[in-house]
Amino acid sequence: MLCARVGAELRVIPLNPDGTLQLDVVPGLFDPRTRLLAITEVSNVLGTENPLAALIALAHQHGAKVLVDGAQAVMHHPVDVQALGCDFYVFSAHKLYGPTGIGVLYARSELLQTMAPWEGGGSMIATVSLTEGTTWNQAPWRFEAGTPNTGGIIGLGAALTYVSQLGLTQIAEYEQTLMRYALDALRAVPDLILYGPAQRKGVIAFNLGQHHAYDVGSFLDNYGIAVRTGHHCAMPLMARYQVPAMCRASLAMYNTTEEVDRLVAGLQRIRKLLG
């Protein structure tokens, strides 16, 4: 949408068969006109964790700014935007166990001071004059137009406090142990196709033989097992793997090995029913 609006060229980093980035191709995608590298920290479909530090450094060498989508990362491990060196970092609250309808934009201070507001409303102005025009408030207030989402802010704050008290390092260690257990168990299911790299965060994408993901997901739902089915807001990725859809199981700090066993048993049962 942005490219269509401003006439920019979109270049996409190609993937290896396991869903990791083809890093040897990346330098050739930059030229003097490159303005922005927008990249996800962790894939919401494959769980791939991208090597951000190297990519950010490369982008900065070419004079490009870097925006990192951390929506699928912030609940799985500690994030230090200063250490990453990114210019922008964004994430949503609902994937951090918070409410819907609110998110976070981090930007380097010097960039915030030069950015124009994207929306008008109360609290984002400093002065208004019929003869001398309008001046904007200081950042970050100039980007918070109108009545704030007070309930969402409180909910996000509570979610951040909760996760911080549990400890993201401890959460990461537990989830990675659970992920290894789940991958080992799922590999034992005949005809199950796993997508993505061996090392991943948070999610497992799969299909069961030639059965449509919607059918598999419906059966699992009847067994009391919740997975997401569809293209996961990633149609180009489905095209890359030449499938109409995938099932996705998400592992979080509250999941257990017993629940993984129920998923595996459910898939075994579906395989027998559908053949």
| pLDDT at residue 275, rounded to an integer | 77
Copy the structure tokens of residue 196: 């993505």
How does pLDDT run across 110-149, given as a tens digit for each residue? 999 999 898 888 889 999 999 998 999 999 999 999 999 9
How does pLDDT run across 57-107, given as a tens digit for each residue? 999 999 999 999 999 999 999 999 999 999 999 999 999 999 999 999 999
List the domains of the chain with CATH numbers: 2-102 (3.40.640.10), 168-274 (3.90.1150.10)
Q: Hey, which residues does 49 pair with through a beta bridge? A: 42
Q: Are 19 and 195 in contact (CB under 8 A)?
A: yes
Catalytic residue among 3, 86, 233, 247: 233
How does pLDDT run across 192-218, given as a tens digit for each residue? 999 999 999 999 999 999 999 999 999
How does pLDDT run across 149-201, given as a tens digit for each residue? 999 999 999 999 999 999 999 999 999 999 999 999 999 999 999 999 999 99
- Among all chains, which residue has been given the structure tokens 């309930």? 151
| pLDDT at residue 205, rounded to an integer | 99
How does pLDDT run across 22-36, given as a tens digit for each residue? 999 999 999 999 999
Q: How many C-beta atoms surround the C-beta of residue 242 within 10 A?
A: 6
| pLDDT at residue 1, rounded to an integer | 87
Catalytic annotation present for 233: yes
| pLDDT at residue 122, rounded to an integer | 87
